[in-house]
Amino acid sequence: MGLSIIILAAGQGTRMHSDLPKVLHPVGGRPLLAHVIQTAEALEPEATFVVYGHGGEQVRAALAGHEVAWVEQAEQLGTGHAVAQALPAIGDAGRVLVLYGDVPLIRAATLERLVQAAGDEGLGLLTAHLRHPAGYGRILRDDAGRVVRIVEEKDATADERLITEVNTGFITATAADLKRWITRLDSANVQGEYYLTDVIAMAAAEAVPVRTVAADSMAEILGVNNRAQQAELERHYQRHQAEAVMAAGVTLRDPARFDLRGTLTAGRDVTIDVNAVLEGDIELGDRVSVGPNCVLRNVRIGPDAEVLPHSVIEDAEIGAGARIGPFARIRPGTRLADDVHVGNFVEIKKSEVGEGSKVNHLSYIGDTTIGRGVNVGAGTITCNYDGANKHRTVIGDDAFIGSDTQLVAPVTVGAGATIGAGSTVTRDAPAGELTLSRAPQQTREGWKRPTKDKT
């Protein structure tokens, strides 16, 4: 029996107090809805439908890379009404699974258990037992323990609100059954909405088996309706990420202060200190060390490299044995070869730095090719932008750039050349020679520093 998945993602999310549609708010660096779609894809359904409403075009644009069918819910009249928008595109012979675009941490394995429990003819319902069930619909069972219906909290009696088994919203049924039941829904309730949960009573009345499955963890069923819930889910997600990373052999100095907002591939004996934020695709070679308060985004770092505290590296490649920071910024398009040293308050952008070269202090290197064994002194600036266009600087192997040098691009410093400290270089500097440009030093004897008039 083929499986079709319907993801409900039409809610406005007014309690988020945001111009961004609720399902586009991030957890782990990705929209809530992106997590749910990825989980749906893992189940390999025949089709996945996303029911959208508020901010629909924005939602569709943000998730355009996924193969889903988009179904508009022009009016938000409840979960039953939302499901009804997608059902006409689903054949009667299949099975339907309903997911939620604001419940991002549901696991594919849990959903597989739910579908299997339902069998060919039954209705599967994911439930949970909570000490404090406020806010959830309650599961009502008969004396034999069979589920007979779900009552939403706002419609529940005082006794019904004492029930601790709650509805998570995740449901699976045959398409034929669901289509028949959906047409019989009404909005005679406190909310004035068409509740999907009302189909449970219809199934029980028709003697369709209602089989329940419990989620493995509370985090799986938590949704996002406000910023506090979003933050809570972020920590659940990051704790899971940290546990997976440590299980793969990475040392995290404090798992509670680690954020992975993408993918991490790590070699052996990698160490990551506190408050590191890893975004995009990260690859760390054997024995890489990442210091506290670092941000890595789409970075590949070779073995035995060290990233010292408070450094930011994005869209860059770092060679083996390199040392970065502290307080260094490596910007997109940068490639550092093996054993390169980049020190404190150095910014490098769209540049290649050759093996063993050093840029240790207070420098800006932009649109530059630096050869092997080069020493770039403190305060060096490559002046790469003329106000309209970017120009390139080339520094040959074994060159020595004195402190407080300005290299006005386009310019080439030859191999083995030395640039005297305090120079402004506007023309090519020949290989193996000393080049400098300085105003003659003067001493004015008898000169007196001005003083304030005290009258």
The vertex-17 CA angle with 15 and 23, nearest 5°, equals: 70
Strands 258-266 vs 276-284: parallel, antiparallel or unpaired: parallel
H helix or E strand, kind and range, residue 314: strand 312-318
Tell me, yes or no, if 361 is annotated catalytic.
yes
Cα torsion 42, 45, 51, 55 to 10°: value is 40
The candidate with the shortest Cα–Cα distance to 138, out of 157, 169, 164, 158, is 164
Residue ranges of the alpha helices (H) in 274-410?
none
Which conformational region is residue 325 in: left (phi greater than 0), alpha (psi within -120 to 50 degrees), or beta?
Answer: left
Contact in structure between 201 and 148 (CB atoms under 8 Å): yes
Dihedrals phi, psi of 399, to nearest 5 degrees: -75, 155
Contact in structure between 382 and 366 (CB atoms under 8 Å): yes
Other Cβ atoms within 10 Å of 143 Cβ, number: 5
Residue 93: partners with Cβ closer than 8 Å, 6 or more residues away = 1, 2, 175, 176
The candidate with the shortest Cα–Cα distance to 297, out of 337, 263, 328, is 263
Contact in structure between 249 and 268 (CB atoms under 8 Å): yes
Contact in structure between 54 and 10 (CB atoms under 8 Å): yes
Radius of gyration of the chain (CA): 31
Residue 283: partners with Cβ closer than 8 Å, 6 or more residues away = 264, 265, 266, 299, 300, 301
The candidate with the shortest Cα–Cα distance to 59, out of 31, 18, 88, is 31
One of 66, 240, 361, 391 is an active-site residue; which one?
Answer: 361
What residues act catalytically?
A: 361
